[in-house]
Chain A
Amino acid sequence: MSPSYDILPVTLVTGFLGSGKSTLLADLLHGDAAKDTAVLINEFGEVGLDHLLVGEVNARTVLLDNGCVCCSIRGELKEALATLFSQRARGDLPPFSRVVLETTGLATPAPIIATLLADPVIRSHYALNATVTVVDALNAAQQRARHPEWLAQVSAADRLVISKSDLADPANLAALARALAELNPAAEVVIRASASETGDILFAPAISTDLMRRLGSVQRALPSGAAFPGFDSATSVEPATQCNGAGDEGSYRTWSRDPASLAHRRAVSSLAAPDRPASQDIVSFCMQIDEPIDWQVFTIWFTMLLNRHGDKILRVKGLLSIAGCAQPAVLHAVQHLVHPVLHLDAWPDAQRTSTLVFITEGLARDSVETSFARFRQHFEEPDH
């Protein structure tokens, strides 16, 4: 999977205004941890303070000077990344081997990811390693209710880091972690207890055995009563679903194996902010398919789905069992953007169940699952 030429991993650090992105970077990127790392910081507004907080990594910092990283200034981001790579190639900068890109608090990650994926120059030199979203433990409920960017940032995350945990009530903190795990089941939820706690929050790849552990051949059941302040947690579990009550330690999830071999098994949760009716349609669900998938049929279906409903699909992430292929394929999409499909070396166990986590807005689970079932059935029949 690793290319022989230079493609630098980019870690996207996002999070709402004041959530602690810069503090996280300042804590994590010093000493040896900052070695080989270039940091791009995007400022918002005329007074950019973020670069002051980064401190030691300033020497390798390029400031984007045009406000929010969004569609309108994708060229700016492209230019910054291309310049960074040129400086590295010329020897103007030390030969860093990874990049951290901190967005503004008002940025939605999709355009940034689009820049990394779609631009022919940038995608030849950079690859998205992981999207890390910092969530403010104290203000998450209000930000969720008032700012759509918060939801876009959480939905796009591979890793959700809860900041300011030392200031939050432990019960509320646990409820927040559960609520985030419900909202984005594909993401790892990390509660950052102290500034001295480092860990591999930034640089651990999003596609890893950990993802397989979370998604592979298990069925997600719902934590009971995730009472997150400001959230109305409505959950539903199918009768076939078993909740064993023994959650994955530290992950705020409860998983159980379903003895019944169903073609489509799922557990669904929905989170809605009561004072924001527009987001009541947001659901996350897990689509599981026991039989190996025909890759060509899947691509026809998924390209059609993204074409017509891409704006309603906030996130898709999961593993696919391709017919005739012993290796699991990793599918990763943010809205209508699909990352390059990778094939992992092996499945974690004997189970070969395709598992896709969807986070959608206004797109029902049944519609998606029934649609794919129809496609499979239709293409299994001989052409007339």
Chain B
Amino acid sequence: MCGMCGLLGGGNHWSNTIPPVKGANARSQRLIHVALANRVLASYRLRLDDFHGQSFVLSSPTGASELVGDFGQVWRVAEQMLGRPLDPLTLFYADEATPPPTPSSTPPSGDRAAATTGHRFADNQSAS
């Protein structure tokens, strides 16, 4: 527990592990995690917030919100809110699209189709 703010340490999920890096602490790491997760979720119009250093709140633009315990659950709940999968294998495919993919960097045919679908979804989706 943080002696200054009285907040708990965020649970024992493996993602809460704090590397022995100078200056690292649970609170700052948690906020960085949330910020990075929001870079994924923003394109789906979802938002993640820290909740007292112990849980997270995942919110949709329609006002739906849900309390989740750890990052293992964040993505599952986000998929439930969206009604579609959040597949890391197809995320950010557009990032490397310039220049056009070479054969060596082209994902397998199945993945390419999924990636295209995922990208289109990212542009046109709306959170439920």
Interface residue total, chain B, C-beta cutoff 8 A: 37
State A304–B85 Cα separation when bound (angstroms). Answer: 10
State A132–B95 Cα separation when bound (angstroms). Answer: 43
Q: A299-B33, A300-B33 are in contact. Are A374 and B91 (CB under 8 A)?
A: yes
Residues of B within 8 A of A326 (CB): 20
CB pair B29–A296 under 8 Å, yes or no, is: yes
Shortest Cβ distance from residue A197 to the other chain B in the assembled complex, whole angstroms: 36
Shortest Cβ distance from residue A7 to the other chain B in the assembled complex, whole angstroms: 13
Query: Could you give 8 example pairs across A and B, Cβ below 8 Å?
Result: A296-B32, A297-B36, A306-B72, A324-B21, A340-B12, A364-B111, A367-B111, A379-B36
Does residue A338 face the partner (Cβ distance < 8 Å to B)?
yes
Does residue A368 face the partner (Cβ distance < 8 Å to B)?
yes
Does residue B82 face the partner (Cβ distance < 8 Å to A)?
no
Does residue A327 face the partner (Cβ distance < 8 Å to B)?
yes
Does residue B92 face the partner (Cβ distance < 8 Å to A)?
yes
Interface residues of A in 321-343 (CB under 8 A from B): 322-327, 329, 336, 338-341, 343
Interface residues of B in 26-73 (CB under 8 A from A): 29, 32-33, 35-37, 39-40, 71-72
CB pair A371–B19 under 8 Å, yes or no, is: no
Does residue A4 face the partner (Cβ distance < 8 Å to B)?
no
Q: A377-B96, A383-B39 are in contact. Are A304 and B19 (CB under 8 A)?
A: no
Shortest Cβ distance from residue B63 to the other chain A in the assembled complex, whole angstroms: 24
Interface bin, chain A = 35 or more
Does residue B107 face the partner (Cβ distance < 8 Å to A)?
yes
Q: A307-B76, A375-B88, A383-B39 are in contact. Are A343 and B15 (CB under 8 A)?
A: no
CB pair B95–A374 under 8 Å, yes or no, is: yes
Shortest Cβ distance from residue B78 to the other chain A in the assembled complex, whole angstroms: 9
Residues of A within 8 A of B117 (CB): none
Q: Which single residue of chain B is at the shortest CB-CB distance from A303? A: B71
Q: A324-B19, A375-B88, A375-B92 are in contact. Are A296 and B108 (CB under 8 A)?
A: no
CB pair A377–B29 under 8 Å, yes or no, is: no
Q: Which single residue of chain A is at the shortest CB-CB distance from B76? A: A307
CB pair A304–B86 under 8 Å, yes or no, is: yes
Shortest Cβ distance from residue B15 to the other chain A in the assembled complex, whole angstroms: 4
Q: Pick the residue among A295, A338, A378 that contacts B19 (CB under 8 A).
A: A295
Residues of A within 8 A of B72 (CB): 303, 306-307, 336
Does residue B17 face the partner (Cβ distance < 8 Å to A)?
yes
CB pair A374–B108 under 8 Å, yes or no, is: no
Residues of B within 8 A of A297 (CB): 36
Shortest Cβ distance from residue B1 to the other chain A in the assembled complex, whole angstroms: 17
Q: A300-B37, A341-B14 are in contact. Are A309 and B89 (CB under 8 A)?
A: yes
Q: A296-B29, A300-B37 are in contact. Are A338 and B75 (CB under 8 A)?
A: no
State A336–B76 Cα separation when bound (angstroms). Answer: 13
Residues of A within 8 A of B111 (CB): 364, 366-367, 370
Interface of A is mostly: helix
CB pair B32–A307 under 8 Å, yes or no, is: no
State A322–B15 Cα separation when bound (angstroms). Answer: 13
A residues engaging B (CB < 8 A)? 123, 295-297, 299-309, 322-327, 329, 336, 338-341, 343, 364, 366-368, 370-371, 374-375, 377-379, 381, 383
State A296–B35 Cα separation when bound (angstroms). Answer: 10
Shortest Cβ distance from residue B22 to the other chain A in the assembled complex, whole angstroms: 7
Shortest Cβ distance from residue B100 to the other chain A in the assembled complex, whole angstroms: 16
State A65–B36 Cα separation when bound (angstroms). Answer: 47
Q: Pick the residue among A308, A339, A368 that contacts B75 (CB under 8 A).
A: A308
State A125–B69 Cα separation when bound (angstroms). Answer: 23
Output the residue of B12, B17, B89, B107 with the most chain A CB within 10 A.
B89
Interface residues of B in 87-117 (CB under 8 A from A): 87-89, 91-93, 95-96, 105, 107-108, 111
Shortest Cβ distance from residue B53 to the other chain A in the assembled complex, whole angstroms: 16
Q: Which single residue of chain B is at the shortest CB-CB distance from A372? A: B88
State A295–B20 Cα separation when bound (angstroms). Answer: 11
State A326–B14 Cα separation when bound (angstroms). Answer: 20
Shortest Cβ distance from residue B35 to the other chain A in the assembled complex, whole angstroms: 8
Q: Pick the residue among A300, A339, A368, A377 that contacts B95 (CB under 8 A).
A: A377
Q: Which single residue of chain B is at the shortest CB-CB distance from A339? A: B14
CB pair B19–A343 under 8 Å, yes or no, is: yes
Q: Pick the residue among A123, A295, A301, A377 that contacts B88 (CB under 8 A).
A: A301
Residues of A within 8 A of B92 (CB): 374-375, 377-378
Q: Which single residue of chain B is at the shortest CB-CB distance from A320? A: B19
State A322–B37 Cα separation when bound (angstroms). Answer: 19
Output the residue of B14, B75, B76, B79 with the most chain A CB within 10 A.
B14
